[in-house]
Amino acid sequence: MHVLILGGTTEARGLAELLAADARPDLRVTTSLAGRVASPRLPPGQVRVGGFGGVDGLTAWLVEHRVDAVVDATHPFARAMSFHAAESAAVAGVPLLALRRPGWQPTAGDRWHEAGSLDEAADLLPGLGARVFLTTGRTGLAAFADLVDLWFLVRSVDPPQAPHPPRMEVLLDRGPFALDGERALLRRHRIDAVVTKDSGGAATAPKLVAAREAGLPVVLVRRPPTPEGVPAVTGPEEAAAWVHGH
């Protein structure tokens, strides 16, 4: 059996690790990465890197490599890939599962402002703060490029490229992040607002706790829609059970 994991997340790696630990001789696992990160943390099993070339490319890949099951474990904001996976799996007649971590939920004391997009988040910011901790990833910085009066602390895995806000400091780092570190970061940079996508998961949640403790507003970018009719689970264990069920 050949399983294709569409990866780029902690959960995708977790699933590859679980399947590798089972060491079943009849199970071959390939993880696919988009290639956005210069030196990604590689999962066990086979790894391929780079786009497939749209729906047609992915469908051809599934057929050519005799894929028996696909797990879409891409990031909740990787909208295009999830829709491509749904279409290609249907055309190729391959079962598809979505592995998607739950979104974050506000608790008492949170000052969250929901935005439908990065542009909407940028529109909200001027009324909320002047020194902004921006954790939405290096590829969406253009949305904030016109906010010339605000200062940004941008945290990303790889260095961002223009267009980006004119007044910014870049912090190259990769999660998981600890609460103490997040508290110190907000204090050291005198942050008064935080912007994040609703990525969910424990690895990057401490910034939300630190913001709540400090009474800071958080602009939370809502998740994009997902394809209909695709069964979904929230953790690698459930996804591994689904794979074994096939």
**Which parts of this chain interact with ligand NAP (CB under 6 A)?**
6-9, 32-34, 36, 51-54, 57-58, 74-75, 77-81, 84, 137, 197
Of the pair 4, 243, the CB lying nearest ligand NAP is at 4
The two tokens of residue 162 are 């223009």
For residues 170-186, one letter each, b for 16 or more C-beta atoms within 10 angstroms of the residue's C-beta and e for the rest, the string is: beeeebebeeeebbebb
Distances (CA, A) of 204 to 103, 117, 135, 155, 166: 12, 19, 9, 11, 26
Of the pair 199, 216, the CB lying nearest ligand NAP is at 199
Of the pair 192, 201, the CB lying nearest ligand NAP is at 201
Of the pair 6, 192, the CB lying nearest ligand NAP is at 6
**Please, what is the minimum distance in Å from the beta carbon of residue 90 to ligand NAP?**
16
How far apart are the C-alpha atoms of 235 and 242, rounded to whole Å? 11
List the beta strands (DSSP E) in 57-137. 69-72, 96-99, 111-115, 131-134
Q: Is the peptide bond before 43 cis (omega within 30 degrees of 0)?
A: no
Query: How many angstroms separate the first and last alpha carbons of the chain?
Result: 9
Of the pair 9, 112, the CB lying nearest ligand NAP is at 9
